[in-house]
C-alpha cells in the first residue's frame, strides 16, 4: 500500500502546471528538452516568424543551470515583455521617420519659396476674392464674409500633399501672433470629402476653420490641385499676395496689420 503522504505528494505534482515546453527547434514536433514556467528567469534572444505562431529563442537561467531552446507563442511574461518592447521601438521609429520626412519637406518648401521670390507678381493680385460659403469639418457654417479680418488668409491644400500640409503648419505661428490684431484664416481642402481633413490633421491642432472644397473654388482661382496655394486678402477681400507660404506671404500679412498701435 502506498503511504498517504506519498499519495498527497503525487496529487500535488499532477496538479502543478507543467510550464511551457522548451524545444530544440521551432516546430511543434521538435524534441522537448525541458520546460519553463512564469517563475523562471528568461532572456529572449530572438523571434522567428513563420506561417504559424511566432517562435522565440530563449535562455532559461536557473541556479546552477542554463538552458537554451525554443518556445512557441507569447504565453510567458518575459516573451510578452519582449514583444511589447519591440512594438514600442517600432512606433518610436515610425514617429521619428515621419518627423524627419516632414522637416525635409519643409526645407524643400523653403528652398522653393526662395527660388520663386524673383518671379513676377501673381496675376490675381488686386482681384476681388468672391465670397464663398460652406461647412467646416465640425458641420458649422463658414463663409468668407463672416471672417471680417483686417487681413485674411485663404489656404488651399491637398490632404495627400506633404508640402501643402506643411504650408498649414507654417501658418500656425503667424496666426497665433496676429489673430488678436485682426488676422483671420480659413483652410480649404481640395479633397471634397470632409473626413479626409480629420484623417490628415489628426495630430495637428489648427484654431481656424477647415472646410472641404465642394463647389470648385480652387479651380475658379486656378489653384494647382497638387501643390495648393495661399491667398492674402485685405479688409475688402482684395487679393494682395498669392503663392506658397513663405517670406512674401509673411510680408504681405505684416504690412496689412502694420498700424501704429501694433508696431
Judge contact between 187 and 210, C-beta under 8 A: yes
pLDDT tens for each residue of 137-151: 888 999 999 998 999
Q: How far apart are CA 228 and CA 167, in angstroms?
A: 9
Fold of 120-262: Glutaredoxin (3.40.30)
**Pairing relation of β-strands 151-157 and 65-72?**
unpaired
- What pTM value is reported for the model? 0.53
Is the pLDDT score of 18 beyond 70? no
Q: How far is CA 62 from CA 10, 42, 47, 72, 209, in A?
A: 24, 9, 22, 20, 63
Which tens digits make up the pLDDT trace of 175-227? 999 999 999 999 999 999 999 998 888 888 889 999 999 999 999 999 988 88
For residue range 28-51, what is the model confidence (pLDDT) as tens digits?
A: 889 998 888 877 899 998 888 777
Rounded CA gap, 5 and 182, in Å?
Answer: 89
Residue ranges of the domains in the chain? 16-81, 120-262
Q: Long-range CB contacts (< 8 A, 24+ apart) of 40-43?
A: 42/76, 42/78, 42/79, 43/78
Can you tell me the distance from the alpha carbon of 246 to that of 35, in angstroms, rounded to the nearest whole number? 65
Amino acid at each position: 500500500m502506498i503511504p498517504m503522504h506519498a499519495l498527497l505528494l503525487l496529487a500535488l505534482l499532477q496538479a502543478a502546471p507543467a510550464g511551457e515546453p522548451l524545444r530544440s527547434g521551432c516546430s511543434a514536433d521538435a524534441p522537448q528538452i525541458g520546460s519553463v514556467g512564469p517563475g523562471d528567469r528568461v532572456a529572449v534572444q530572438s523571434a522567428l516568424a513563420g506561417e504559424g505562431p511566432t517562435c522565440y529563442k530563449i535562455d532559461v537561467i536557473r541556479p546552477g543551470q542554463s538552458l537554451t531552446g525554443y518556445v512557441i507563442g507569447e504565453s510567458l511574461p518575459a516573451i510578452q515583455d519582449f514583444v511589447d518592447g519591440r512594438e514600442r521601438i517600432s512606433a518610436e521609429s515610425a514617429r521619428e521617420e515621419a518627423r524627419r520626412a516632414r522637416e525635409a519637406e519643409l526645407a524643400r518648401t523653403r528652398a522653393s519659396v526662395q527660388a520663386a521670390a524673383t518671379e513676377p507678381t501673381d496675376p490675381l493680385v488686386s482681384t476681388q476674392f468672391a465670397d464663398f460659403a460652406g461647412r467646416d469639418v465640425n458641420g458649422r457654417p463658414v463663409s468668407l464674409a463672416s471672417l471680417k479680418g483686417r487681413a485674411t488668409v485663404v489656404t488651399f491644400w491637398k490632404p495627400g500633399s506633404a508640402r501643402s500640409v506643411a504650408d498649414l503648419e507654417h501658418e500656425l505661428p503667424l496666426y497665433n501672433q496676429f489673430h488678436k490684431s485682426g488676422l483671420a484664416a480659413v483652410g480649404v481642402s481640395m479633397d471634397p470629402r470632409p473626413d479626409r481633413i480629420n484623417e490628415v490633421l489628426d495630430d495637428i491642432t489648427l484654431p481656424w476653420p477647415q472646410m472641404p472644397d465642394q463647389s470648385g473654388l480652387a479651380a475658379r482661382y486656378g489653384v494647382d490641385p497638387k501643390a495648393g496655394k495661399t491667398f492674402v486678402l485685405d479688409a475688402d477681400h482684395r487679393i494682395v499676395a498669392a503663392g506658397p507660404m513663405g517670406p512674401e506671404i509673411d510680408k504681405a500679412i505684416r504690412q496689412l496689420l502694420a498700424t501704429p498701435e501694433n508696431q
